[in-house]
Each structure stands twice: as structure tokens, then as C-alpha cells.
Amino acid sequence: MLLASSYSHQQFRVSTVTEQPKTELPKPEAKEQDSFKFEIIYLVPILASLLFGLGCAYLLAPQTTGGISATPFTGNTPSASIGNAFYFVILVAVAATVFYFLIKRKNQRVIKGIVVFAMTTASLLLSLIYLFALFPQFNGVEYAVIATAIAITVLFDLAIFRFGSTPRNVAVIAVGGALGIFFAKFILLPSAVLILAFLAIYDVIAVY
């Protein structure tokens, strides 16, 4: 009887051990699928910038360069085009390096100051160029043009740094179209092609 009870007790212990619930391993979480879907509406900012650029081109097309040059080397020679391409790539590389160290050190005030200065300068200079192109035949209009350019620059800065996202997007589209036409007018075609090619190579190296 003792042997039977001992056997049944051992059998009960074995069954309780073997019948313990298995711990389930955590299942790996499913990777989130990219839910981005292309829509035609995403091309609206590009179309708006192109249309604004056409208006700017209409203003600058009849104007002579007047000695204005956006590149340090003039002429259609290969050396001038290569020099201009290196010039722009070096500018972009230096700016990217400066911003990298500023972001790494979290100098938000310095970064904001540089951005505000750059955007304000671009807006003021572009406003002056296009306003003088809009009123080329009027004498004594310089003061009115300068005052209007300053007013446009103030509104531009408010749209970029103070107002909501919609005014900011409109301002960025406007300055992008105006700046693109300005470079197209005052940069020779060989230099422009090499600048784009060198910047594309720089982007590949900087990203990868």
C-alpha cells in the first residue's frame, strides 16, 4: 500500500511538472508598412513655383544683365564654368559643415540668426531687382522702390517666422521661383549645367 501511494505520488508530481503551461515567447512586432501614397495634389507647390517663376521671367527677360553676375568667373570658357561649379559646391559644403557643428552644439540662437539673415537678404535683394525691372522707365522712382522692397521684406519675414504654415509655404514658393529665374538670367548655361552636376555629385557623397 505504501509502495502504491508512493508510486501514485511520484506519478502526480511528474504529471504536474509536465503539464505546466508553456511560456509563450513574445512575437516580433510586425513592421509598420509605409502608408505614403502619391497624390496629384503634392505637385501643386511645384506647379505654383513654376508659374510664379514664369512671371518673374517675363519681367527679367527684356532686361540686360547690367554688369550683374552671380558667379565669380565670367565667360564661356571651360575653366570659368568649372571654377563656378567648384565655387558653388564649396559654398554649400562650408555652409553644411557650419550648420552641422552648430546643430551638434545645439546653438539654436546662432542657427536662427543665420537663417533670418539669409532669408531677409535674399528677399530684399530679389525685391529690389524685380521692382527695378517692373519700373525701368520711371525717373526718380528709386526711393519708392527701396521703400516697397523693405515693406515686402518685412512681410516676407513675418510670413516665414511668425505667421502660420500656409503663408510660410506661399513665401517659400515665391522666393524659390524668383531665385531660380534670377540664377537662370545671370548665370551662363555651361556654368549652370556644371553647377547642377557638381551639386548632384555632392548630394550623393553627403548622403551616402
Note the pLDDT tens digit of each residue in 124-137.
Answer: 998 988 888 888 76
Nearest residue to 130 (alpha-carbon basis) of 175, 191, 67: 175
Within 10 A of 87 (CB to CB), how many other CB atoms are there?
16
Write down the pLDDT at residue 156: 92
Q: Which regions in the chain score pLDDT beneath 70?
A: 1-34, 36, 65-68, 137-139, 208
Question: Which amino acid, residue 157?
Answer: D
Cβ(181)–Cβ(56) under 8 Å? yes
CA 91, 111, 160, 116 dihedral sign is negative
The cell numbers describing 13, all together, are 508530481
Write down the pLDDT at residue 152: 92
Write down the pLDDT at residue 155: 93
Write down the pLDDT at residue 204: 77
- This prediction has a pTM of 0.69
